[in-house]
Amino acid sequence: MRPLTPPAVAAYLDGLSRPPHPVLPRIRAEGLAAGVPIVDALTGALLHGLTRAVGATKVLEIGTAIGYSTVWMATALPPAALLVSLERDQARAAAARGYLAEAGLDDRVNIMIGEADRYLHKLAGPFDLIFQDGDKTQYAPMLAKLAPLLRPGGLLVTDNILWDGEVVPGFTDTPHKNAADTAAIAAYNAALAADPHFTTIWLPVGDGVAVAIRTSHE
Ligand SMILES: C[S@@+](CC[C@H](N)C(=O)[O-])C[C@H]1O[C@@H](n2cnc3c(N)ncnc32)[C@H](O)[C@@H]1O
146-204: pLDDT as tens digits:
999 999 999 999 999 999 999 999 898 888 999 999 999 999 999 999 999 999 999 99
Residue type, 84: V
- CB count within 10 Å of CB 98 equals 14
Q: Taking the domains of the chain in order of start, what are their residue ranges?
A: 7-214
- What are φ and ψ of residue 112, in 5° steps? -110, 130
What percent of the chain has a predicted confidence (pLDDT) above 70?
Answer: 99
Examine the pLDDT at 218 and tell me if it is beyond 80: no
Q: Rounded mean pLDDT of 116-127? A: 93
107 band by pLDDT with thresholds 50, 70 and 90: very high
Question: Ligand 1: residues within 6 Å at CB?
Answer: 37-39, 63, 65, 68-69, 86-89, 92, 115-117, 133-135, 138
**Does domain 7-214 match CATH 3.40.50.150?**
yes
| Cβ–Cβ under 8 Å, residues 113 and 87 | yes
Cα-to-chain-centroid distance, residue 122: 21
